[in-house]
Amino acid sequence: MLTTETKNEILAELAHSETNRMACIEALKIAQREHGWVSDEDLCEVARLLDLTPDEVDGVATFYNLIRRRPVGRNVILLCASVSCWVMGYVQLRARLLQVLGVELGQTTEDGRFTVLENQCLGACDHAPALMINDDLYHDVDPEQLGDILAKYA
């Protein structure tokens, strides 16, 4: 269930949008901030606030890859798998990251601390390889730096 504060934020977003559909992605991003993902219940609440059907909102949620429809860990790692990162060491970075965390892509660590997701271009192609943890972008990532990077997140 969304908090009153979140609902008000969604309604404020709606007030600034030309159409309800245009507010949908931002509304879902706002809703996602509460738990790190959007449950069916929250999605229906977003739909109600935007006067759209749940199917319409779910269509947007599943199309937009930064909206998560399944539970995630406290911190979400987006690992770029696009061409520049691939060429500049994605495979080694992925192998080290998954080894350090003891998970496969798409999984969450046993302690719920991290979820690792693959992502297309994070906009740091000229400083590949890149990954993002929550809202923090890391570029020119050396697999040996991962320990220090991950230590910043509880």
* Selected binder of ligand FES within 27, 72, 122, 132 (CB under 6 A): 122
- For residues 78-115, one letter each, b for 16 or more C-beta atoms within 10 angstroms of the residue's C-beta and e for the rest, the string is bbbbbebbeebbbeebbebbeeebebeeeebbeeeebb
Per rule CB under 6 A, is residue 47 in the interface with ligand FES? no
Among 32, 75, 82, 108, binds ligand FES (CB under 6 A): 82
Among 20, 84, 107, 109, binds ligand FES (CB under 6 A): 84
For ligand FES (CB under 6 A), the number of binding residues is 12
> Phi then psi for 119, rounded to 5 degrees?
-140, 155
For residues 142 and 154, what is the distance between their CA atoms, to the nearest angstrom?
Answer: 21
**Which of 55, 33, 8 has the alpha carbon at shortest distance from 43?**
55
Among 23, 28, 61, 124, binds ligand FES (CB under 6 A): 124
Nearest distance, CB of residue 128 and ligand FES, angstroms: 5
Any contact of residue 31 with ligand FES (CB under 6 A)?
A: no
Beta-carbon neighbour count of residue 29 at 10 Å? Answer: 15
Footprint on this chain of ligand FES (rule: CB under 6 A): 80, 82-85, 121-125, 128, 130
